[in-house]
């Protein structure tokens, strides 16, 4: 049975995004466009518990059962957390004899903001004693230089068993050009070690560059047992609830895939949550006729920033998870440790904010779970920019506790008032994010003033106006349900898969060779679509080429043309756009890729009716940067289309709180989004 039946539009689809602090759920009736939303606390010890709790909440609200669901979509951080926390499986690496030190050698690069003289290379994910060699050798063109000695493979079994490995990564030299030896090694080891998860580099990242390929394969093997167990637990919970709908998981490339594909390559989910948010932001902006946006997704522990030009989500294969480069296709974004739970601390009379976070437990002091550190959320509570209750009134905030930790941990050590300290916390938080925004905009040749800022996540709308002021942006768009946008993005996401083939040897653009490889990859993509049950009218394929100038160490992905001139012209244009120049050097073709898409029917969003201007729920004293002001708090759900609110104001809703700063005014778009404009006079 295919993991997804795309031949019909499912009536009820539920999407679940699990974050570090909260789990967000959206249930969509595609027939009517009705949406039911919920938010519940995450359970780090068992994320599947919060998953099912949230699903049951929206099912009860909608008056349907799990059996009525036609699709279940999920964004998960399970793989990411295992990599970041070092809690993956006990992993071994099998490689070609003579290349056991490839992970240790790595690259000469150091992290962007690291000190050249003090940076220390992090410990590798597989220690040297768990790296094993076999006798074989494939040449650069895919020809066999040395036949695989199968006895050298079977000789490893006792050592692997003695080391109690739970997963094995196989990455042989030049396997991307000829995978025969890798496949045979995997076959032998699976027969001898049936309870061990085994993955080949050609199933994860069949491209050149031994370090990146080895690392991706190791990380994939590292999370395979844990992700497989987690998926099985979800499927069991859904089965117990009598849900027969397919489970689809978000990948880092902004598309969803079935559980079979994710079990094979779980590393594809490393940035699934943030990717879903970007998809949701693009969808919400398109409903407002906006194509050029900068998204800022601020949750409890991190902020993810992405630039979208002309409505197109760019992918990169130069992403990172923690300290490790992960060269799998993922949405091109920058992540920093800045969120509502980011801890503010004074060290040597200097205030810093993040990257450490209070997390879900104990969380900010304002949440009443015993938090003793000052956080960004506590700073907002101290200033009055958060109402005294969240989640539609279901969660009361402890104002006294919040002000106490800000006073004790920040204000008193610096000789400031609590309000001055809170303003300082927010100023540092905002400037940290501005730096990340400039990384994806100014440093890539884009002027942020030409874009609309789209803040979302639980904390994003609290910072939208402040960030826009710092960046010189005059328009901000806040989606209808910004705190649940990752879940909404899952509902809008297409099914996606990439099929990649590295050329045996990089060289000048050879149209015939390239076309033959594209044809083979296209057949692979068609077979995948057949397996997934994707209807012909919902299929889309795009051929991409990775090229570079001779002598360069990195490639640029562009559309594969009908002639070498088409392809090379596109490459030069892309190179000039990125770097401001082109080289007088031969252009080399390195890799070809087919991006396969199974399109999802657009989500129909009901249009808001016009209503009378609502009265404020209450007034609250707020310490704005411009001074203390009595500020109205509005229920956002009561605002109809074309309603206008002039700042300062606070808008409260189930999933977030939005601030309209002094000097800004907001208008409600018929789609439900808020369009904020700055008074430039």
CATH of the domain at 37: 3.30.420.40
Q: Quick check: is 626 in a domain?
A: no
Q: Which residue has 């920033």 as its token pair? A: 305
| CATH code of residue 115 | 3.40.1360
Higher pLDDT, 516 or 390: 516
The DSSP call for residue 498 is E
Burial class (CB within 10 angstroms; exposed 0-12, middle 13-18, buried 19+) of 193 = middle
110 & 187 share domain: yes
pTM equals 0.85
Question: Residue 356: phi, psi to the nearest 5?
Answer: -65, 145
pLDDT in tens, 509-540: 889 999 999 999 999 999 999 988 888 999 99
> How far is it, in rounded angstroms, from Cα 203 to Cα 326?
15
Q: Quick check: is 434 in a domain?
A: no
Q: Given 533, 567, 593, which residue is the final one in a domain?
A: 593
Q: Quick check: is 42 in a domain?
A: yes
As a whole number, mean pLDDT of residues 595-619 equals 85
25 & 135 share domain: no
Q: Given 574, 593, 612, which residue is the final one in a domain?
A: 593
55 & 109 share domain: no
Burial class (CB within 10 angstroms; exposed 0-12, middle 13-18, buried 19+) of 526 = middle
Burial class (CB within 10 angstroms; exposed 0-12, middle 13-18, buried 19+) of 309 = middle
Q: Quick check: is 676 in a domain?
A: no
- Does residue 7 register a pLDDT over 50? no
Give me the chain's average pLDDT, please. Answer: 89
Per-residue pLDDT at 391: 67
Half-sphere exposure for 516 (CA within 13 Å, toward CB): 5
Q: Given 547, 571, 593, which residue is the final one in a domain?
A: 593
Start-end of H helices in 362-417: 376-383, 399-406, 412-414
Per-residue pLDDT at 8: 42
- Does residue 612 register a pLDDT over 50? yes
> How far is it, in rounded angstroms, from Cα 339 to Cα 641?
31
Range of the domain at 249: 12-82+228-269
- Does residue 455 register a pLDDT over 60? yes
Q: Quick check: is 170 in a domain?
A: yes
Per-residue pLDDT at 473: 96
Per-residue pLDDT at 358: 83
Higher pLDDT, 335 or 451: 451
Higher pLDDT, 272 or 192: 192
Q: Are 15 and 74 in contact (CB under 8 A)?
A: yes
Per-residue pLDDT at 547: 94
As a whole number, mean pLDDT of residues 336-342 equals 85
21 & 101 share domain: no
The domain total for the chain is 3
> How far is it, in rounded angstroms, from Cα 316 to Cα 502?
16
Q: How confident is the model at residue 2 (pLDDT cuts 50, 70, 90)?
A: low
The DSSP call for residue 421 is H
Q: Quick check: is 458 in a domain?
A: no
Question: Residue 210: phi, psi to the nearest 5?
Answer: -65, -40
Residue 457, both tokens: 């996540």
- Does residue 10 register a pLDDT over 60? no
95 & 215 share domain: yes
Backbone φ/ψ region at 458: left (φ over 0), alpha (ψ -120 to 50), beta: alpha
120 & 194 share domain: yes
As a whole number, mean pLDDT of residues 174-179 equals 92
52 & 137 share domain: no
Per-residue pLDDT at 1: 44
Q: Poorest-confidence range of 12-16, 41-45, 89-93, 441-445?
A: 41-45
Provide the percentage of residues in the chain whose pLDDT is more than 90.
58
What is the full DSSP assignment across 353-366? EEEEE-TTTT--GG
- Does residue 393 register a pLDDT over 70? no
As a whole number, mean pLDDT of residues 339-356 equals 89
123 & 199 share domain: yes
């Amino acid at each position: 049975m295919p993991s997804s039946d795309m031949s019909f539009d499912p009536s009820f689809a539920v999407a679940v995004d699990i974050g570090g602090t909260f789990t967000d759920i959206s249930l969509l009736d595609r027939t009517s466009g009705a949406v039911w939303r919920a938010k519940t606390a995450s359970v780090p010890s068992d994320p599947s518990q919060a998953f099912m709790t949230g699903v049951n909440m929206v099912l009860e609200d909608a008056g349907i059962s799990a059996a009525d669901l036609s699709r279940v979509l999920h964004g998960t951080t399970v793989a990411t957390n295992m990599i970041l926390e070092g809690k993956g499986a006990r992993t071994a690496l099998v490689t070609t004899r003579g290349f056991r030190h490839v992970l240790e050698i790595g690259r000469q690069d150091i992290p962007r903001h690291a000190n050249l003289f003090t940076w220390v290379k992090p410990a590798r994910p597989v220690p040297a004693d768990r790296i094993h060699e076999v006798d074989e050798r494939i040449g650069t063109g895919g020809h066999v230089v040395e036949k695989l000695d199968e006895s050298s493979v079977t000789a490893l079994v006792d050592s692997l068993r003695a080391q109690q490995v739970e997963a094995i990564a196989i990455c042989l030299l030049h396997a991307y050009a000829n995978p025969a030896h890798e496949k045979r090694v995997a076959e032998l080891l699976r027969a001898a070690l049936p309870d061990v998860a085994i993955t080949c580099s050609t199933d994860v990242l069949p491209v050149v560059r031994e370090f990146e390929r080895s690392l991706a394969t190791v990380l994939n093997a590292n999370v395979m047992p844990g992700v497989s167990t987690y998926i099985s637990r979800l499927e069991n919970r859904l089965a117990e609830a009598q849900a027969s709908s397919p489970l689809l998981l978000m990948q880092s490339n902004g598309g969803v895939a079935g559980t079979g594909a994710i079990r094979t390559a779980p590393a594809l989910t490393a940035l699934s949550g943030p990717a879903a948010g970007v998809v949701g932001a693009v969808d919400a902006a398109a409903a407002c006729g906006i194509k050029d946006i900068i998204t800022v997704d601020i949750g409890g522990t991190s902020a993810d920033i992405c630039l979208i030009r002309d409505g197109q989500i760019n992918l990169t294969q130069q992403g990172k998870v923690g300290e490790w480069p992960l060269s799998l296709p993922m949405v091109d974004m920058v992540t920093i440790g800045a969120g509502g739970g980011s801890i503010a601390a004074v060290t040597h009379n200097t205030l810093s904010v993040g990257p450490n976070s209070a997390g879900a437990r104990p969380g900010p002091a304002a949440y009443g779970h015993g938090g003793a550190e000052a956080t960004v959320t506590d700073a907002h509570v101290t200033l009055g920019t958060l109402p005294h209750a969240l989640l539609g009134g279901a969660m009361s905030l402890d104002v006294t506790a919040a002000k106490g930790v800000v006073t004790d941990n920040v204000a008193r050590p610096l000789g400031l008032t609590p309000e001055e300290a809170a303003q300082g916390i927010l100023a540092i938080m905002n400037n940290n994010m501005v730096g990340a925004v400039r990384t994806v905009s100014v440093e890539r040749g884009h002027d942020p003033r030409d874009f609309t800022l789209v803040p979302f996540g639980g904390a994003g709308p609290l910072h939208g106006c402040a960030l826009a002021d710092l960046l010189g942006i005059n328009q901000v768009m806040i989606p209808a349900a910004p705190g649940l946008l990752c879940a909404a993005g899952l509902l809008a996401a297409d099914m996606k898969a990439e099929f990649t083939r590295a050329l045996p040897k990089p060289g000048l653009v050879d149209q015939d060779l390239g076309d033959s490889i594209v044809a083979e990859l296209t057949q692979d993509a068609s077979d995948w679509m057949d397996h997934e049950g994707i209807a012909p009218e919902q299929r889309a394929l795009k051929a991409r080429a990775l090229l570079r100038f001779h002598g360069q160490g990195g490639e640029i992905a562009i559309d594969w043309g009908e002639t070498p001139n088409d392809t090379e012209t596109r490459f030069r244009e892309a190179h000039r756009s990125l770097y401001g120049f082109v080289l007088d050097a031969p252009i080399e073709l390195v890799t070809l890729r087919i991006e396969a898409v199974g399109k999802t029917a657009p989500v129909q969003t009901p249009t808001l009716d016009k209503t009378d201007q609502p009265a404020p729920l209450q007034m609250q004293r707020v310490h704005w940067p411009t001074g203390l002001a009595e500020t109205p708090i509005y229920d956002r759900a009561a605002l109809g289309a074309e309603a206008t609110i002039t700042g300062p104001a606070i808008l409260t809703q189930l999933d977030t709180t939005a601030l309209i700063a002094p000097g800004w005014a907001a208008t409600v778009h018929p789609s439900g989004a808020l369009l904020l404009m700055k008074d430039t006079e």
